[in-house]
Every structure is written in structure tokens, then in C-alpha cells.
Chains A and B, each alone.
Chain A
Amino acid sequence: MHTRERIRKQGLAMDTRITIDVVTSRKDAAQVGQIIDDAMMAFYEVERACSRFDASSELMQLVARPGEEVVVSPLLLQTVSFACTIAELTDGRFDPTVGRRLQQLGFQRHYLTGTQLDTPEANVSDVSYRDIIVNKEASTITLAKPMVIDLGAVAKGFAIDLVAKQLVDFEGCIVDAGGDVYLSGHNEFDEPWRVGIQHPDDKGATIATLRLSDCAVCTSGDYERRSPIDKNAHHIVSPVNNSNQQQVRSATVVAPFAMMADALSTAAFVMGLPQGLQFLEECDVEGLLVSPDLSIEMTHQMRGYIDG
């Protein structure tokens, strides 16, 4: 008889709660725990590179030097570059230069130290992803104007992918960073993973259940983080009018990578219905949008993932 165990480790990183589950028939639970701990360090590596809340992060060091061509690490280069790609795809409706606006809305507090970081000299509206010049060959980024870049919709996904890549050899694993997840293999019952989609109005409930594996599932919702300054504002702002669209409550995306699912769910959320859904179809990913009346609209193939 052969048993599988599910081993869990949790931590705090990137302003969220990280939960990593590994399914294994290995008996050396302590060793497996160490492997998980080691893998989890990727979150802190990415955080040190990409945090908007830490003045000493590589990102904020870059932000402090507008107009200069700055050599950056692969972590920052890849995340900024990917954010710009998504911005291009969405024609600027998704834009990483919303950082200053997020600061103004009160999203500028470091979750561990409580220190607040403001960049008042940065542009709020007169700036876009086109003012970010990425030179991949030289590994440099130049910010054409003073701005604050927010990688909140990309970096966490990237970190999830990096962690998951180190754990895919186990029979199964879940890397969950505050509701953005990557799942591989099977659960301890040898079934595909069951993923609930958070209900926008009921913390303890799910609005749909998916059954899938070897992919990422990310959800962007209006219910998650409210601005401490403007109660009607949340943490996902569209750069087009610098306010929140009201069309959907949440957007869920299933994609091969968490970085992709993370960014595309934010983009689809910002675009609302029906454009967000169309956009997901164009990007060849599956997704599900919850409208204000809590009805669900999904891409064509999404139904295949719905459980029951």
C-alpha cells in the first residue's frame, strides 16, 4: 500500500500569504520541507528586485534615476519587459506606470515594516509604458520621465512560476500566493486539483470550482484591497482615466504561466465585459469574468475546466 502525504509550508512575502503544498510519497518529510523552504526563497529574491514598497529595492533604485540608462538584474528586466508587452497588447489599458497613482490612493505601506514610501516628484497622468525603454541586449532600462512603476500584476506571478519550476518533480504541488496559484501534478488522492474561485461578496464562499492541473489560475477582483483613502477605489486602477472601471467584480484566467495569468487577469478586469473576454480569447487563454449581478461569463474552452 502506498501512501502520499501533503506537506505544507507558509510564509509572508510580497504583501501576501504564501502557501506551498507538496504531494509526495517520500518519507523524509523534513527534507521535503527544506526543499520547499529553499524554493520559497524565490519570492524574496523577486521581492527584493521588484518591490514598490522598499526604497532599496532594485525597482525603486531605478525609479530614483529617471533619464538614466540603468543596468538591471534579469528579474527586474524580465518583469518590466513583460509588463510593457501586456501594456502594448492592451493598448495601454493595462499599464505598469500607475505606481504613483497607487501611492496616492494609499497603497504605499510596506507590509512588514509599516514604513510608507512616496515619490511625489513622479508623474501621475502624463506618463505611460511608452516612457519605459527596455534594452534586453544590454540588460538596461531607461525611464524617460519621472514615474513609479508598479509590478504588482506581474512580479508575484513570476515568483510563483520560479517556485513552481523547482517543485514540479513532486507528484503534485500548489504554489499559492494570495489566491494566485500554480498547480502541478495531482493531489494526494491522485486527482486533478480542485480550485475554487472566490465569491466577490462572501469571503467564505466560492462562485465556481475548477478541476485542472499543470497550469496557473489567477483572479483579479474589486473586493480584495480597498484604498484607505478613497473607499470607492481598489488596488487595480486603469491608466486610461486613472479610475476604476465598474464593469466586472472579478476576472479569472487559466494560463500555462502564473506571470501570464496574473497580468492577463488584471488586464481583463480593467477591460471589463465584453472586451475583457474577447481579449482573453485573442491571447489564447481561458478565463471567467463575474459581472456586477454575479452572473458568470467565460471563454469558450473554459467550461471544460468547470467542476460539476
Chain B
Amino acid sequence: MAKKMGNKLVAICTVALGAAYGAGYLVTKTPASASLLAVPSSLSNTTTASTTGTSGGSSSGKTLGSTFSSNSSSGSNSNSASTNSNATGSSSPSSGSQASGSTSSSSTSSPSTHTTSSSSSTAPATKTSAVKKSTPPAKAKPAVNTTSQYLDGTYQGSGSDAIGTVYVAVTVQGGKITNCQITQCDTHYPQSYIDPVLPQEVIARQSAQVDVVSGATGSSYDFAMAVQQALTQAQNPHYKG
């Protein structure tokens, strides 16, 4: 009896996973067209996601890929807030979003000690804004979006918690939050050598606690500040919901 129940559950799980796959979920279901943009692979997911946003009516998104690598200025992140307003035809971006935009710019440009992929992930907003500026015709077209609370794009935010300052990149696509990366911890572990192992490393390894803790703090409330900061920039000034 006992074993049967276990087998039954295993079978159900196997079928459930198969069903999800069979339905075409996942498997390289990268942010849809992200891969089409041929973005340099050193740029992270957040970068590609930000260029694929469409709901704001910015058909100019399609052109981003080609101009992508041409612009590498940093620290102009504060533009992202105003750019998003521009994209929807606003002439009066809220001062609030601009303020938070510049806050974020100072914070997001600071983790320069991280890996290239992490630091470059702060670039998309910059590039988006730069590209949109250089293609003025694009901003005349889109209708004012009043139905989405958030405007498409990738927004940076930072906040502090027990482990230090946390940087997040919140991606909005189709007016919905589609993912939220923690960019600060996006780092590589130091290389470790299987053979030969230095004695000190063995000792360090044994005293080093564990690889992962089950039941450890699952709460994300420490990140609320970082996320809220990012979402402030994403606010659609024309949202009527």
C-alpha cells in the first residue's frame, strides 16, 4: 500500500511536468523575440527584455537591436523615466518619476565591481532612451497608453537589507511585470580546482557550512524598497485604472 502511494505521486508529477512541456511552455521560451535581436551575449536577460517591450505602442522597439551596441554611455539612466513619458506622448513627466530615476542612476552605476554582465545590465534603460531620442518619428506615432499601470522597459532600483545593498532590475512587458532580477548578486564564484586541491581549501571547504539551506528565509520583503523604487519609474502618468 505504502509504496503505491509514493509511486502514484511520482507518476502524477512526471505527467504534470510533461504536460507543461508538451504545451510548449518553457524550453527556450526566452522573452519571445529577445534572441532575434542578436544582442551581445554578455548583456544579461534584462537587457534583451527591455528592448522587446511592445505595449506602449513603441514600434521603435524593433529597431533597437541594430543600434544597440553603438551607445555605451553610462550614468544617463535618469533619462529612462522621462523617456518613457515621451514614448507615450507626455509633455509633463511627473517630477516624482524623474527624481527616482536619477536616484536609481546613481545607485545602479555604482556596482561597477561586479561582473561585466551585471554592470552592463544597467545599460538598457540608457540605451533605450538614447535610441528613442535618435528616432524622433517613433514618438509621434504611439497613442497615449491609459490602460497599463506600468510602462514597458527595465527599471533599476536599490534597497538595503541584512546582506547589504540590493540592486534589482524589474522588467515590464505588455504593462505587466515579467521578471525581476537581483543584479547585485549576479556574480561568479571564484574558480575552484578539482585537482590538485590545496590543503587550506579543503579545510575552508569543510568548515564552510552548506551549499544551500532548506527552509531558510524565503521572504522577499527586504527587497520591497528596491522594487518600489524601480516601479516608481515605471509608473504610467496616464494610467486611468
Within 8 A of A (CB), among B118-175: 168, 170
How far is B5's CA from A282's CA once the two chains are assembled, in angstroms?
Answer: 7
Point out the residues of chain B lying under 8 angstroms from A174, CB to CB. Answer: 211-212
B: contact size bracket:
35 or more
B148 to chain A, nearest CB (A): 11
Q: Given that A188-B192, A195-B210 are known contacts, is A114 also in contact with B224, CB under 8 Å in the complex?
A: yes
Q: Given that A198-B216, A224-B218 are known contacts, is A187 also in contact with B16, CB under 8 Å in the complex?
A: no
0 or 1 for each of B170-212: is its CB under 8 Å from A? (1 = yes)? 1000001111111001111101111111000000010001111
Q: B36 in the interface, Cβ–Cβ < 8 Å?
A: no
Q: A161 in the interface, Cβ–Cβ < 8 Å?
A: yes
Decide if B220 touches A15 in the complex (CB within 8 Å): yes
Point out the residues of chain B lying under 8 angstroms from A177, CB to CB. Answer: 218
Select from chain B the residue with minimum beta-carbon distance to A42: B26
Decide if B26 touches A41 in the complex (CB within 8 Å): yes
Decide if B181 touches A10 in the complex (CB within 8 Å): yes
How far is B213's CA from A224's CA once the two chains are assembled, in angstroms?
Answer: 13
Point out the residues of chain B lying under 8 angstroms from A19, CB to CB. Answer: 185, 212
Point out the residues of chain B lying under 8 angstroms from A250, CB to CB. Answer: 215
Point out the residues of chain A lying under 8 angstroms from B223, CB to CB. Answer: 12, 17
Decide if A37 touches B44 in the complex (CB within 8 Å): yes
Decide if A259 touches B16 in the complex (CB within 8 Å): yes
Point out the residues of chain B lying under 8 angstroms from A203, CB to CB. Answer: 217
A4 to chain B, nearest CB (A): 6
0 or 1 for each of A205-231: is its CB under 8 Å from B? (1 = yes)? 010011000000111110011000000
Decide if A29 touches B181 in the complex (CB within 8 Å): no
Point out the residues of chain B lying under 8 angstroms from A113, CB to CB. Answer: 177, 231
How far is B220's CA from A234's CA once the two chains are assembled, in angstroms?
Answer: 16
Selected from A75, A78, A190, the residue in CB contact (under 8 A) with B194 is A190
Selected from A1, A12, A195, the residue in CB contact (under 8 A) with B227 is A12
Decide if A73 touches B16 in the complex (CB within 8 Å): no
Decide if B220 touches A12 in the complex (CB within 8 Å): yes
A60 to chain B, nearest CB (A): 14
Decide if A206 touches B209 in the complex (CB within 8 Å): yes
Point out the residues of chain A lying under 8 angstroms from B180, CB to CB. Answer: 11-13, 112
Q: Given that A112-B177, A181-B212 are known contacts, is A3 also in contact with B5, CB under 8 Å in the complex?
A: no
Instruction: Name A residues whose Cβ lies closer than 8 Å to a Cβ of B.
Output: 1-13, 15-17, 19, 21, 28-31, 33-34, 37-42, 44-45, 48, 56, 73-75, 77-79, 81-82, 85, 89, 111-114, 158, 161-162, 165-166, 174, 176-181, 183, 187-190, 193-198, 203, 206, 209-210, 217-221, 224-225, 250, 252, 255-257, 259-260, 264, 281-285
Closest A-B pairs by Cβ, 10 of them: A284-B6, A178-B218, A219-B215, A37-B45, A198-B215, A196-B210, A78-B16, A10-B182, A257-B13, A6-B189
Instruction: Name B residues whose Cβ lies closer than 8 Å to a Cβ of A.
Output: 1-3, 5-7, 9-10, 12-17, 19-23, 25-31, 41-42, 44-45, 117, 168, 170, 176-182, 185-189, 191-197, 205, 209-221, 223-224, 227-228, 231
Some 29 contacts from A to B, beta carbons below 8 A apart, are A3-B191, A4-B192, A6-B188, A7-B189, A8-B186, A9-B181, A10-B186, A11-B180, A12-B168, A15-B220, A16-B219, A16-B220, A17-B182, A56-B176, A74-B22, A75-B25, A77-B19, A111-B227, A112-B177, A161-B17, A162-B17, A178-B219, A206-B210, A218-B215, A224-B215, A255-B9, A257-B10, A257-B14, A283-B9
